[in-house]
């Protein structure tokens, strides 16, 4: 929707099209009189709610508002041709914060809107967790809304792909203001959608009848399988940007008056009076009826309960029990054929895809004969078809963003980011969309997915093929993180990640893909391991080394060498860092009375610092020596072998630190 900017909007003909869609513009006579009166009433209801919410703010009852006023006509028109409901078989809606009239037109009540405004416990959008106008109505297929401008585009695209996959005739509504069209997510989504023959239309969004014609034509075009439509609706913004704004500071009185002259509600009311569908007195009575309904809803909402403080940490993760019969290392036949880690990952993907048809795999170069740059996805396209293993554009934000829509609509996406170093364009989707998806919707919505990410150094990869990212994402509530160190663990943890009800960042160390040290006998079919359960990779009594990923193998090598010196080292391999098995760490430290934490990432503010802090908090009185860390230097990873070796932890670094801790 065009009209959130500051400049005056030039008026356009009521409808324009690129010629790919035929449009018949209706007149008031083409609608039932009762429907038109009801649509005008809903538009009035939206406007009155805007006004009431601003009043509540002035009274100190509310805290924030961002209005819909001026957008009502086009939203009402689009809703007329939409099919809300819960789950597949209905249309999907990816709102932005000015879609109040759309929400009301689809079925949200004034009471529900005011529960959200006052952040009450029974707010159906978020249970008071989100700011007002951050819609999320599961029963209407309105996806939980993120504040981030433009974050809805790629999830919306994912919903659309899910519709195609199911061969349904539903459509996805994705809305935004003109400011969002400067965001990269908008252009990434448009780029991917353009593969499907994107059509373009423009309409006067303050004219209900023109908007209805455009909406009907656009939505039918989509339902007929002719591809997506970009509909630009010229509207006006009759309120400041938000309750924190004063638009008289940057808009002239003439501009504001010009917008008021094309108020969509006034235009709709005038059209109905002109056609004899409504009298002026009836319009005034309708306004009074709406005012009373909103006032009553506001008084009712004020009396409802606030969220209980003890629930503030609920809904970060799925709290139920997964239907998984977990294995243990004892289930592995030691005489089974050896397997390297990358083949274990491939085997897990094949077994899970055969087990569950909802699983789809995609990313850059993962499909076909290539099977990914490390061959982790080889043969998946041949075995399961192009609909279940396919390539994406080279756009990490799109990969993870579309996975949100796929997951929320019932698929299980397993996506690959080719290198951890290139995950940063997807930070918007990961941090503000994926991770808090469950929390911000009060567990009404979830987006379980697996994001496979090759990471780590020791491969002569330089600055942009060597990064470790766990410390940053470990600080992101709602995201689980696994870092396997062996082939068997990779297979078992990946299968569990795929069956999880939460999004999982699955970090795979590139140097372990084919490393002999990470090779294990092939685990049985459908081998699964629980998250949050560390592995005692080596038992000992004199020193605890806490580690994960590539550093597990280095630590085991050091432990063997220390044994020759008469020191019995216990190695705790975390397997997952979110959730973190703190109890196993503490039990080991209480037994050995010494702790060395080893990790590849930068020592400065690395994840190992959290482990040290927990040991210091909960096992300090058991320590016979200071806690030590061995980790990477606080520098990018250089390309030359001599430089790379200088900044990444070596066996010698770990050995020296271990000796120091034992000798203290």
Distances (CA, A) of 275 to 261, 280, 583: 20, 12, 74
Which residue in the block uniquely carries the two structure tokens 């065009």?
A: 2
Dist. CA 138–CA 144, nearest whole Å:
8
* Closest to 174 (Cα-Cα) out of 430, 18, 407, 1: 1
- For residues 612 and 629, is the Cβ–Cβ distance under 8 A? yes
Asked if 3 and 235 touch (Cβ cutoff 8 Å), the reply is yes
Helical residues (DSSP H) of 445-549, grouped into ranges: 470-473, 487-499
Residue pair 508/420 in contact (Cβ under 8 Å)? The answer is no
The CB density around residue 514, as the number of other CB atoms within 10 Å, is 15
| Residue 530 burial class via C-beta count within 10 angstroms: exposed 0-12, middle 13-18, buried 19 and up | middle
* Helices first, then strands: H and E counts in the chain: 22, 19
Query: How far is residue 576's CA from residue 570's CA, in Å, rounded to a whole number?
Result: 18
- Name the residue among 468, 402, 424 with its Cα closest to residue 195: 402
Q: What pairing do the DSSP bridges indicate for beta strands 569-573 and 576-578? A: unpaired
Residue 92: count other Cβ atoms within 10 Å of its Cβ: 29
For residue 597, the SS3 value is: strand
Residue with the two structure tokens 């513009």: 25
Q: Answer positive or negative: Cα dihedral of 106, 111, 114, 118.
A: negative
Contact call for residues 69 and 240 (beta carbons, < 8 A): no
Q: How far apart are CA 216 and CA 197, in angstroms?
A: 19
624: Cα within 13 Å, side-chain hemisphere: 15
| Region for 326 from its dihedrals, namely left if φ exceeds 0, alpha if ψ lies in -120 to 50, beta otherwise | beta
- Selection from 168, 267, 270, 261 nearest residue 222 by Cα: 168
CA distance 664 to 659: 9
Distance CA 189, CA 176 (A): 13
Q: Give me the active site residues, please.
A: 465
CA distances, 379 to each of 297, 356, 493, 601, 630 (Å)? 58, 17, 21, 33, 40
Q: Provide the Cα torsion 276, 282, 286, 291; round to 10°.
A: 140
Q: Could you tell me if residue 228 is left (phi over 0), alpha (psi between -120 and 50 degrees) or otherwise beta?
A: beta
285: its two tokens: 């009575």
């Amino acid at each position: 929707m065009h009209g959130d900017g500051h400049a005056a909007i030039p008026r356009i003909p009521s409808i324009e099209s690129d010629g790919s869609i035929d449009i018949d513009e209706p007149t008031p006579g083409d609608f039932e009189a009762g429907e038109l009166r009801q649509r005008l009433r809903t538009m009035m209801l939206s406007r009155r709610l805007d006004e009431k919410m601003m009043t509540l703010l002035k009274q100190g009852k509310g805290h924030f508002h961002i209005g819909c006023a001026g957008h009502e006509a086009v939203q009402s028109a689009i809703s007329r041709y939409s099919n809300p409901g819960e789950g597949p078989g209905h249309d999907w809606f990816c709102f932005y914060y000015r879609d109040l009239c759309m929400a009301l037109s689809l079925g949200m009540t004034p009471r529900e809107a005011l529960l959200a405004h006052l952040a009450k416990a029974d707010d159906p959008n978020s249970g008071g967790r989100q700011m007002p106008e951050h819609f999320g109505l599961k029963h209407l297929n309105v996806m939980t809304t993120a504040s981030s401008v433009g974050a809805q585009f790629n999830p919306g695209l994912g919903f659309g792909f899910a519709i195609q996959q199911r061969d349904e005739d539903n459509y996805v509504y994705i809305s935004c203001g003109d400011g969002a069209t400067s965001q990269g997510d908008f252009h990434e989504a448009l780029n991917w959608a353009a593969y499907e023959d994107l059509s373009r239309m423009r309409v006067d969004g303050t004219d209900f009848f023109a908007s209805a014609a455009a909406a009907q034509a656009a939505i039918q075009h989509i339902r007929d399988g002719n591809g997506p439509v970009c509909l630009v609706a010229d509207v006006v913004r009759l309120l400041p940007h938000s309750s924190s704004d004063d638009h008289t500071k940057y808009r002239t009185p003439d501009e504001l008056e010009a917008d008021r002259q094309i108020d969509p509600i006034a235009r709709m009311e005038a059209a109905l009076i002109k056609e004899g569908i409504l009298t002026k007195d009836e319009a005034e009575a309708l306004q009074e009826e709406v005012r009373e309904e909103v006032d009553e809803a506001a008084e009712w909402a004020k009396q409802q309960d606030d969220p209980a403080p003890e629930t503030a940490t609920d809904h970060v993760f799925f709290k139920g029990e997964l239907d998984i019969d977990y294995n243990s290392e004892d289930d592995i036949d030691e005489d089974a054929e050896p397997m390297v880690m990358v083949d274990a990952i491939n085997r897990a993907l094949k077994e899970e895809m055969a087990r569950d048809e909802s699983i789809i795999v995609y990313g850059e170069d993962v499909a076909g004969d290539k099977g990914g740059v490390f061959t982790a996805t080889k043969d998946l396209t041949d075995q399961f078809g192009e609909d279940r293993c396919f390539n994406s554009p080279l756009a990490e934000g799109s990969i993870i963003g579309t996975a949100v829509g796929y997951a929320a609509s019932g698929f299980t996406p397993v996506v690959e980011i080719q290198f951890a170093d290139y995950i940063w364009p997807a930070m918007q989707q990961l941090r503000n969309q994926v991770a808090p998806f469950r929390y911000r919707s009060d567990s009404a919505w979830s987006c379980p997915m697996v994001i496979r990410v090759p990471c780590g150094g020791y491969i002569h990869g330089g600055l942009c093929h060597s990064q470790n990212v766990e410390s940053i994402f470990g600080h992101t509530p709602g995201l689980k993180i696994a870092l396997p160190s062996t082939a068997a663990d990779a297979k078992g943890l990946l299968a569990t990640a795929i069956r999880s009800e939460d999004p999982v960042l699955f970090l795979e160390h590139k140097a372990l893909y084919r490393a002999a040290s990470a090779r294990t006998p092939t685990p049985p079919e459908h081998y699964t391991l629980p998250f949050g359960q560390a592995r005692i990779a080596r038992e000992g009594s004199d020193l605890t080394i806490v580690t994960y990923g590539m550093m597990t193998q280095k630590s085991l090598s050091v432990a063997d060498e220390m044994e020759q010196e008469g020191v019995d080292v216990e190695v705790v391999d975390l397997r997952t860092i979110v959730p973190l098995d703190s109890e196993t760490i503490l039990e080991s430290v209480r037994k050995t009375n010494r702790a060395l934490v080893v990790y590849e990432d930068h020592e400065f503010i690395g994840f190992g610092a959290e482990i040290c802090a927990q040991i210091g908090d909960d096992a300090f009185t058991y320590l016979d020596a200071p806690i030590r860390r061995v980790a990477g230097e606080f520098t990018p990873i250089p390309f030359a072998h001599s430089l790379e070796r200088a900044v990444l932890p070596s066996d010698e670094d770990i050995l020296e630190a271990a000796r120091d801790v034992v000798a203290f």
